[in-house]
Amino acid sequence: MASLIFQIVVDSLLLGGVYTLMAVGLSLAFGVTRIINFAHGDIVMYGAYAAFFAFVSLNIDPLLSLLFVAILGAIGGYLLFKLTLDRILDAPGINQVLLTFGLGLVLQNVAVILWTGDERSTTPSYAFDSWFLSDDIVVAKGRLIAFGLAVAFVVLLLAWLRWSELGRATRAVSQNRAAASLMGINVRAMYALSFGLSSSFGTATGAIMSFLLPITPFMGFPILVKAFAIIILGGLDSIVGTVIGAFLLATAETTIAYVVPQGIGWAEGVAFFLLVIVLIVRPTGILGTVGRDA
């Protein structure tokens, strides 16, 4: 029994790390711009493809290419914002939803045209390695690395938001757009910056997913759905809430999968039931503020 509980804890933590990676970029973009980026999963997918081609063509390990992929993601996200979303910031919310949803479809179809629907994956040695803590308790090295990177990303992001000039400006825009503008902050520049950063997290996440999940042009949508559920659970505009939401969802899914017979088939349903309960009890999510004043 003790080993089962320990294995549940280990698996929940590792899955929570993966879920944090999936959701943190989406949360950042929404927190600042108040736009839900429905193309976020597809940005993750492009990061995975970039890491894959760096791995097979240039023999660069995904953990090394991650940095370049993140920079490319930041540039791509910034440009995407300037060319599209910047033009409809003052339009009704449904236009923004439709735009990002459409962008996601375009990105997905371009990927199919360029790379076909074949499944791919990077195969660095650590993706096949594991540690045995006992006869029953196994820690997959690839997931542990993902967990470590998720922690590092979140810490870096929170530090940037708290202590850097641009980070504070970003938080100011997030908290009160009008006041930030009156204080001389270029709101649209902050939007573009946060969208670029969000995309950077997205593509970096893709590089990590490249050795954890099969890469296909369609991998983005399930990631988006999961990320969306997590940020609603944690609170749409809260990074810490997102982390809590990710680990809560991972723990619920893992526990159900271990404890209930055929539980892995129930896990997602139960996890989303949990989401519904949280939203009824606390509509802003665990740490969110969006909607509180409404």
Q: Which residues bind other proteins (CB under 8 A)?
A: 7, 11, 14-15, 18, 109, 112, 116-121, 123, 127-130, 132, 136, 138, 140-142, 212-216, 218, 222, 253-254, 257-258, 262-265, 267-268
Separation between Cα atoms, residue 51 and residue 122, nearest integer Å: 8
Nearer to other proteins, 238 or 254 (CB): 254
Contact residues for 182 (Cβ-Cβ < 8 A; gap 6+): none
Nearer to other proteins, 192 or 243 (CB): 243
We find the least distance from the C-beta atom of residue 71 to other proteins, in angstroms, to be 26
Contact 42, 215 (CB under 8 A): no
Contact residues for 117 (Cβ-Cβ < 8 A; gap 6+): 216, 217, 218
Phi, psi (deg, nearest 5) at residue 26: -65, -40
Nearer to other proteins, 265 or 283 (CB): 265
Nearer to other proteins, 119 or 282 (CB): 119
We find the least distance from the C-beta atom of residue 29 to other proteins, in angstroms, to be 22
Helices (H), the chain: 2-33, 40-58, 62-83, 93-115, 141-163, 165-175, 177-182, 187-209, 220-234, 239-259, 263-281
We find the least distance from the C-beta atom of residue 159 to other proteins, in angstroms, to be 28
Nearer to other proteins, 58 or 182 (CB): 58
Contact residues for 25 (Cβ-Cβ < 8 A; gap 6+): 40, 43, 44, 197, 198, 199, 200, 201, 202, 205, 227
Nearer to other proteins, 128 or 164 (CB): 128
Q: Give SS3 for 29.
A: helix
Separation between Cα atoms, residue 209 and residue 45, nearest integer Å: 9
We find the least distance from the C-beta atom of residue 48 to other proteins, in angstroms, to be 12
- CB atoms closer than 10 angstroms to residue 6: 14
We find the least distance from the C-beta atom of residue 123 to other proteins, in angstroms, to be 3
We find the least distance from the C-beta atom of residue 205 to other proteins, in angstroms, to be 13
Nearer to other proteins, 138 or 155 (CB): 138
We find the least distance from the C-beta atom of residue 118 to other proteins, in angstroms, to be 4
